[in-house]
Structure 1
């Protein structure tokens, strides 16, 4: 009887890997479907609205809201670009006293939600605020009608306030690109007679354009998502129109129709970001890379540079911080501590922690699935899953409402089929709706960070582990997760803080008698007593500082010295 050799056995390797590939594809498809479902539902709800509602909205609401939104985005785009690019160029190209400190102070305004800074500036610069009161006292005016003073509750005021908070998106992107540009390119330009202004305009900025497009689009998406600052400063944006149409006018189809108009703007912003990065692929050698040395400044130029960079930090971070701290002490919020704030803080932290854990788990699983199957379909699904960050909170909440209620109806039907009780709104009427909204919106941060962390791990390591008999789950647990832990940790901090600050989706989806720190502050602001929520605002800022510092801690790149001829 002939003995069969190993070579005679059928090749079953593709069958052994087939289930894992199928499960990975199914997971990515479900994840993409979960993110795209609210948008499909939103369009369906808008389609149900009658012509009378749409005619009223198109005549009286949408035109003014669209104009205010366009003006707000245009102003924020210009001002954030000027502040962010200018500050990034100064701290990167020049060396002056205080530069190192300013380089990590400049991103700190990101720790503040836009609506908190808006509340602070409105209280200070409004007609009844301390600035105008002092102005009237100094010049003998009795009423605000006797003099002219810039109105903070206006479109220009909203542009200024939002830009002071959102410019770090552009600053971080610009600084990262300016620091890593090769000294060889700058030296060639200098030999051709380029001045410092020409170097910035014709060399540094064109090379940094892809990163600037990303940073600017993030700032505009955050401005588009805002609802608290716009409402408090009197700017009727599309986001605020969705909220008022849904809540105040009780018209869900009307709100969905405005949201569809808003989606067009979101798509335009995403197209703008892609357009800014079109055909831009720059490759520089990482071997013995020399970065541009900073130009030392002394005397008046050094002080001017210091003042220019210190101004946005002072206005966007220290000024609101000191005001909140003053209000906490002045009103005795620590002595007469509101014990409900403890419960609201625990609720906020718990919801943010749960959403962060789920988002990081799903993001890591999605990145691992793409690494496993490596196909166009996988990358397309991952791209769709990351679209949630581009969807404003009001639009997302509106689109999630029907799927959540539908899921509750299915659960009630299943319970009734087995003779169980009527469960009611298990998901849509509980805090689970908030967790789902947070995960959907901030999943892009988790997937992007997980992909960046895994990209640093060579695929050959996976192949070696497979030859040793380690299964994909073991490879992920023993190799991928430990090596990608720094990226995942940073993503967790960012997602956690974004969940703490999220206001629009929280306002629309939170169950009755559930308050978070953001809605706690919002309730005081709507009653005209924002100062009573100063302590809650400080709590949000205190937690938000940690990830911002982490973003800038390792971003400093020292210019490498020019190698000697023997080293070359």
Structure 2
């Protein structure tokens, strides 16, 4: 019971809690807002250039460019969405639900095509299915045909051919997102459905596909954004997409405003894809069972006879197409051009690629750490929104990002040069436009989201009370971040750096627009040879790109192989 003398006096106000002045962390706010502004700068400059035009190009664009390019782009996206959905979902379900020869190997090998950039796949497929290639040569040998007029063969240099090429290397996005859902929920739900008498086919179509739909849509959205971003494969295969039209309008017609206007149309398409992906995820939830329950799951259905053969073929074909064909084609060409490994031009391209990728990885990792720390310290909706806004760079096609950044950097350089001429009596020239720094800035803007996502995923796995424990021992926020969080986040930081490094090595669209004269990377080295009609001369550079990109893919594959759930 409360003692009488402890009771509050009549009419007295209850004691108020002690108010502590909240630290606003102004530097964290300013940094997050500055990074977000840098990400938005290419979009704003692109809109400014597009709206500043006189509109004299629109009659030509509407009559001759936009209808054909828009229909081709939408047709290509529809084909790619269907093909990647079939390959990704089928592969994910087969390796999760069934046991057949080489299943464990194929469960991680299905990720390998991610190491092949789409433009390299286009060059390889173009050579592999050419009239003088091994496939048509085999057809002529088997059936005794003498010339191309004696038989019909699908043309890889077409919109369906381009869709097949892009799907061969992009389906792993769907495979990875869908496989996670099947591992976490699919088999539990399928077991319940089977106990109610449902047949396997009915379980798959009526139960599992609806559960996996958000993951499939998320994977397809990533695939379609990569499809919009592509320029090398579309140009080589003769498919006039909107991305190709941006370059053609700008370079061939000399119309920056027309190219910017087409780029804005593409940007609207990207935002619609992002909205569709967020809408699909609105009700996505994950529920995992206890460890003992997971161990008690029944084994996978063992396939025998022709069922096992069909499952093996269905999972082998995507790997052979997306990874096997490029390695076969470029490996053959590279074996006959071993002297290129000592070529000064290739050596310079390799050093440029490594230097650009290393600087980009360092910048993006540092910025990602600062942004995540800003959210952790400020705990403000404004800062959280700014950090999320800084992540839209990854959704921007490299061509659009490069074009917008080119306009912004040119305006910056012209302003500085005008000021120096007027007040200092000398010209500064171009400081950033047409420099390696412009390439680094573009890649940092585009891949910042990749680094932030990887590090944030590592942060979310740490106990939430680490900060409080360090602060209770008298550590400042900066010291607790440096002494406690950073050592624990080393794996996530390493993963983020590797992913950004490799994506920068593979980046082509923005690099073509922003690189200085005579500055070649491995990607542009291959692209220039392909543009001259001799992609075989870029085979060694292509092999170097693929081998470099294999690093994160093998890390990811190793994680899949160690997945206890996948190996049950």
Shift of 1:141: 4.7
The Cα of 1:426 is off from its aligned counterpart by 1.0
Please give the secondary structure, in 2, of the residue aligned with 1:153.
coil
Whether the aligned pair in 1 keeps the contact of 2:364 and 2:447 (CA below 8 Å) is: yes
Of 72, 75, 78, 1:74 maps to 78
Instruction: Give CA-to-partner distance per residue, 1:34-71, whole Å, 9 cap, x none.
Output: 11121111111111222220111111001100011001
- Alignment map for 1:95-244 (pairs within 5 Å): 95-133=99-137, 135-136=139-140, 139=143, 141-181=145-185, 184-244=188-248
Confirm or deny: 8 A CA contact 1:209 1:277 kept in the other structure.
no
> Where in structure 2 are the equivalents of 1:422-437 lying within 5 Å?
422-437=427-442
Given that residues 104 and 567 in structure 2 are in contact (C-alpha distance below 8 angstroms), is that contact kept between their aligned partners in structure 1?
no
Q: What is the number of equivalent residue pairs in this alignment?
A: 548
Aligned to 1:3: none
Residue of structure 1 in register with 2:301 after alignment: 295
Q: 1:283 to 1:179 in 2, by over 3 A?
A: closer
Residues 184 and 287 in structure 2, CA contact (< 8 A), matched pair in contact too: no
With 168-177 and 280-289 compared, the bigger mean Cα shift is at 280-289
Q: How big is the alpha-carbon RMSD for the aligned residues of Structure 1 and Structure 2?
A: 2.2
Give how far 1:334 is off: 3.0
Match of residue 514 from structure 2: 509
The reply to whether residue 316 of structure 1 matches residue 322 of structure 2 is: yes
Shift of 1:339: 2.0
1:534–1:406 distance in 2 versus 1, CA, 3 Å: same
Deviation at 1:405, TM superposition (A): 1.9
Using the TM superposition, name which of 112-121 and 208-217 deviates more: 208-217
Q: Quote the Cα distance in structure 1 between the aligned partners of 2:71 and 2:495.
A: 37
- Corresponding residue for 1:33? 37
TM-aligned CA deviation for residue 302 of structure 1: 1.9
Q: 1:336 to 1:259 in 2, by over 3 A?
A: closer
Aligned-residue offset at 1:128: 4.4
- Are residue 283 (structure 1) and residue 287 (structure 2) matched? yes
How far the C-alpha of 1:353 sits from its partner, in A, is 0.6
The answer to whether residue 536 in structure 2 is matched with residue 531 in structure 1 is yes
Query: Quick check: 1:52 aligned with 2:59?
Result: no
Instruction: Give secondary structure in 2 for the equivalent of 1:554.
Output: helix
CA contact (8 A) 1:411 1:423 kept: yes
1:368-517 correspondence to structure 2 within 5 Å: 368-412=373-417, 419=424, 421-517=426-522
Gaps of 5+ in 2: 1-17
Partner residue in 1 for 2:8: none
- The 3-state SS of whatever aligns with 2:365 is helix
Alignment partner for residue 14 of structure 1, among 18, 21, 37?
A: 21
TM-score, structure 2 length as denominator? 0.92
Offset, 1:415: 5.0
C-alpha separation in 2, matches of 1:152 and 1:160? 8
Separation of aligned partners in 2, 1:110 and 1:146: 37
* Contact 1:228/1:522 (<8 A) preserved: yes
Q: CA deviation at 1:156?
A: 0.7
User: CA contact under 8 A between 1:256 and 1:398: conserved in structure 2?
Assistant: yes
User: Aligned-pair distance for 1:212?
Assistant: 2.0
Shift of 1:535: 0.2
Please state whether the residue corresponding to 2:346 is helix, strand or coil: helix
- Shift in Å at residue 286 of structure 1? 4.4
Aligned residue in 2 for 1:91: 95
Partner of 1:339: 344
Q: Give the Cα separation in 2 of the matches to 1:288 and 1:377.
A: 43
Label 1:368 to 1:210 Cα distance change in 2 as closer, same or farther (>3 A). farther
Kindly state the Cα deviation for residue 146 of structure 1 after the two structures are TM-superposed: 4.1
Q: Which runs of 5+ in 1 are unaligned?
A: 1-10, 563-568
Instruction: Label 1:47 to 1:243 Cα distance change in 2 as closer, same or farther (>3 A).
Output: same
Matched-pair contact (CA < 8 Å) for 2:42–2:405? yes
- Which residue does 2:271 correspond to in 1? 267
TM-aligned CA deviation for residue 296 of structure 1 = 2.0
CA distance in 2, matches of 1:46, 1:413: 24
Tell me the SS of whatever aligns to 2:154: coil
